[in-house]
A and B are shown apart, each in its own frame.
Chain A
Amino acid sequence: MFTFRAVLFLCLAAALQAQTPALGRALTPEEVRKLDITVAPNGAGLPPGSGSVSAGGAIFAQKCQGCHGAQGAGKPQDQLTGGVGSLASGKAVKTPVSYWPSATTIFDYVRRAMPYTAPQSLTNDEVYAVTAYLLSIDGVVPKDAVLDAKTLPAVKMPNKDGFVRWWPAPPR
């Protein structure tokens, strides 16, 4: 009896080693498309739509300024603009505009997490517009800019080359 059980257990062990449970449900491309809100620095994942600086200014005044101040100058919450050129000064002002290397990060973050009290409520056009507005304050994009899936990843951020990857090891 015990011998039989031992043999059975070994057979099961061998089977487990040979295969894993495979209990995942296969996803359709349509399901993946709805779930995938990641926007990459090269623009992969950006949705259709567009937004202008002027449209973004109106949305910002209505939905963002209460926390982030006029023109994103900050207070009571994070400062979003300014600080360009300050990073090596010893008094760095890190803002999305002065510090973040990819313009797409603003779109990605605003779309998933902002406004704080109503995340994921902005339309794609509104997110493009708010991104354009923020980038226009310090002249990263012109005042008449319209951002979309093609123009947003082409925006050259002031600190585009400012990050040094410490993984898998510090550079030599």
Chain B
Amino acid sequence: MLRGGLFAAGIGVAQAADSIGADAPEWMKTPGRSFSGYGMPAKSQDKVQRTFTAGPGRPGTGVSRTPVHLLEGTITPNGLHFERHHNGIPDIDPARHELVIHGMVNRPLAFSVEALMRYPMETHVRFIECPGNSGGYIGPQPTQASAAAINGLISCSEWTGVRLSTLLQEAGVAPGAHWVIAEGDDAAAMSRSVPLEKCLDDAVIALYQNGEAIRPEQGFPMRLLLPGFEGNINVKWLRRLKVTAEPVNARDETSHYTELMPDGRARQFMFVQSVKSMILRPSFGMTMKGPGFYEVSGLAWSGAGRISKVEVSADGGRTWALAALSEPVLSKALTRFRLPWQWDGRPSVLMSRATDETGEVQPTRAAWLAQYAPGQFYHFNGIQSWGVEADGTVKNVYV
């Protein structure tokens, strides 16, 4: 009946009004574009970019940061993985690149990329975090900048490659060996001392990142992947592993990534990135649209294993609620946590506090600072706080 009436009303009006296209968006009324060899994000996502500042005269030295607050889930898209380079990204010809294992071994060996591709491979989701990440939290006043600007030196990928222990067994590690000196194929020949114990445990020579060949920024054709260890030691563009009895005190394990204690002595070889978390929604730069329902969402991780729980406070740490962890919760990988929040419109302070499977809990910022001499900023994993003001703005605050 109703339908008949509609038809009747339509008669006499232009024929076009009869087509359903009148109210359809333009993209439904013309054929879409064709295929592409390598797909790109939607045009409206052009602000989702790494941010970076290269030093004057040193275009390839410094960092770029993952826009953590603009992403969801746990996997970092390959083009947005944070970067830390010491003299630029080398343009390596994979046909001329070899991985050499020598030193305290019975058989010094060189592996071509082609040869490594024939080895049994394994796949794991692992985070990599620069030990300088979140270093701004040592400042006397909270940095008013995005979560990416403060915490963007962390990314998480599904890495595939060859177990390093397989290659070391083929070379035959000699008695008395305890360390492996890793070296990159870049213009800094970046070098670090790695405990042999780690190399024989879960270390991988990574060849693939999220299903495609590892990106040049991440070490193409191969990088050392030491799950849970500080980013710098996951040597990119890996070309050489020298098995030794002692560490080498490389520049990047003395000058960098060591922390002075108040007595003037420095902690060295703090490899494991301790348990940590950050709230990303809401975070600095976002504006709450009035009281009502919001989902608090963030990331937690630990270099020691799985995240066991994340607690969230909306009242500056007086009370805490357990957040839900998105499955699967993987060892040494980013874990997404979420908690529904009914904001009453009053000033609030959001905090997250993670605990890992070893029982380690994030310290307060003050407790973290108390361990070190002034100015030390590597390996910061203190609890972070966002202040939500009555007008809906979100600021970085210290509690």
Flag B250-274 by CB within 8 Å of A: 1 or 0 each: 1100110010111111111111000
Residues of B within 8 A of A1 (CB): none
* Nearest CB in chain A: distance from B84 CB, A: 15
**Judging by beta carbons under 8 Å apart, are A119 and B255 in contact?**
no
C-alpha spacing A91/B260, complex, angstroms: 11
**Judging by beta carbons under 8 Å apart, are A92 and B373 in contact?**
yes
C-alpha spacing A67/B268, complex, angstroms: 28
**Judging by beta carbons under 8 Å apart, are A91 and B248 in contact?**
no
C-alpha spacing A150/B260, complex, angstroms: 31
Is A20 interfacial (CB-CB < 8 Å)? Answer: yes
Is B244 interfacial (CB-CB < 8 Å)? Answer: yes
**Judging by beta carbons under 8 Å apart, are B57 and A67 in contact?**
yes
C-alpha spacing A38/B246, complex, angstroms: 12
State which of A3-11, A107-115, A137-145 sits at the interface with chain B: A107-115
State which of B101-109, B127-135, B331-339 sits at the interface with chain A: B101-109
**Judging by beta carbons under 8 Å apart, are B248 and A38 in contact?**
yes
Residues of A within 8 A of B118 (CB): 21, 23
C-alpha spacing A58/B143, complex, angstroms: 43
State which of B38-46, B180-188, B297-305, B319-327 sits at the interface with chain A: B180-188
C-alpha spacing A23/B263, complex, angstroms: 51
* Nearest CB in chain A: distance from B88 CB, A: 10
C-alpha spacing A36/B110, complex, angstroms: 13
Is A18 interfacial (CB-CB < 8 Å)? Answer: no
C-alpha spacing A100/B102, complex, angstroms: 26
* Nearest CB in chain B: distance from A151 CB, A: 18
Segment 183-202 of B: residues with Cβ below 8 Å from A: 183, 187-191, 195, 197
Using known A-B contacts A21-B119, A22-B170, A163-B265, determine if residue A105 contacts B195 with beta carbons closer than 8 Å. no
> How many residues does chain B have at the interface if contact means C-beta atoms less than 8 Å apart?
63
> How many residues does chain A have at the interface if contact means C-beta atoms less than 8 Å apart?
51
**Judging by beta carbons under 8 Å apart, are B271 and A112 in contact?**
no
* Nearest CB in chain B: distance from A105 CB, A: 5
C-alpha spacing A162/B188, complex, angstroms: 26
C-alpha spacing A13/B195, complex, angstroms: 31
* Nearest CB in chain A: distance from B316 CB, A: 30
C-alpha spacing A36/B266, complex, angstroms: 29
Is B56 interfacial (CB-CB < 8 Å)? Answer: yes
**Judging by beta carbons under 8 Å apart, are A88 and B112 in contact?**
no
What's the A-B contact tally at a CB cutoff of 8 Å? Answer: 165
Flag A135-172 by CB within 8 Å of B: 1 or 0 each: 00000000000000000000000000011111110100
Segment 22-61 of A: residues with Cβ below 8 Å from B: 22-27, 31-32, 35-42
- Of the candidates A37, A89, A91, A109, the one whose C-beta lies within 8 Å of that of B251 is A109
**Judging by beta carbons under 8 Å apart, are A25 and B111 in contact?**
yes
- Of the candidates B87, B112, B264, B269, the one whose C-beta lies within 8 Å of that of A113 is B87
**Judging by beta carbons under 8 Å apart, are A27 and B109 in contact?**
yes
Flag B95-123 by CB within 8 Å of A: 1 or 0 each: 00010111100011111100110111000
**Judging by beta carbons under 8 Å apart, are A162 and B266 in contact?**
yes
Is A16 interfacial (CB-CB < 8 Å)? Answer: yes
Is A70 interfacial (CB-CB < 8 Å)? Answer: no
C-alpha spacing A144/B108, complex, angstroms: 41
**Judging by beta carbons under 8 Å apart, are A23 and B111 in contact?**
yes
C-alpha spacing A170/B259, complex, angstroms: 13
Is B240 interfacial (CB-CB < 8 Å)? Answer: yes
Is A104 interfacial (CB-CB < 8 Å)? Answer: yes
Residue in A closest to B271 when the chains form the complex, CB atoms: A167
C-alpha spacing A153/B107, complex, angstroms: 29
**Judging by beta carbons under 8 Å apart, are A116 and B58 in contact?**
yes
- Of the candidates A37, A100, A108, A166, the one whose C-beta lies within 8 Å of that of B269 is A166
Using known A-B contacts A23-B118, A32-B102, A90-B374, determine if residue A99 contacts B110 with beta carbons closer than 8 Å. no
C-alpha spacing A86/B298, complex, angstroms: 40
Residues of B within 8 A of A116 (CB): 58, 61, 87
**Judging by beta carbons under 8 Å apart, are A26 and B246 in contact?**
no
Is A82 interfacial (CB-CB < 8 Å)? Answer: no
**Judging by beta carbons under 8 Å apart, are B260 and A92 in contact?**
yes
**Judging by beta carbons under 8 Å apart, are B251 and A32 in contact?**
no
- Of the candidates A90, A94, A100, the one whose C-beta lies within 8 Å of that of B249 is A100
**Judging by beta carbons under 8 Å apart, are B189 and A164 in contact?**
no
* Nearest CB in chain B: distance from A76 CB, A: 7
**Judging by beta carbons under 8 Å apart, are A112 and B170 in contact?**
no
Is B169 interfacial (CB-CB < 8 Å)? Answer: yes
* Nearest CB in chain B: distance from A160 CB, A: 11
Residues of A within 8 A of B374 (CB): 90-92
* Nearest CB in chain B: distance from A1 CB, A: 27
C-alpha spacing A40/B246, complex, angstroms: 8
Is A101 interfacial (CB-CB < 8 Å)? Answer: yes
C-alpha spacing A109/B261, complex, angstroms: 25
- List residues of B whose CB falls within 8 A of some A CB: 55-58, 61, 86-87, 98, 100-103, 107-112, 115-116, 118-120, 166-167, 169-171, 181, 183, 187-191, 195, 197, 240, 242, 244, 246, 248-251, 254-255, 258, 260-271, 373-375
| Closest 3 pairs between A and B when the two form their complex, measured CB to CB | A88-B264, A24-B109, A167-B269
- 11 pairs of residues in contact across A and B, judged by CB atoms under 8 Å: A21-B120, A24-B167, A88-B263, A88-B373, A91-B374, A104-B249, A108-B191, A108-B248, A113-B87, A116-B87, A163-B265
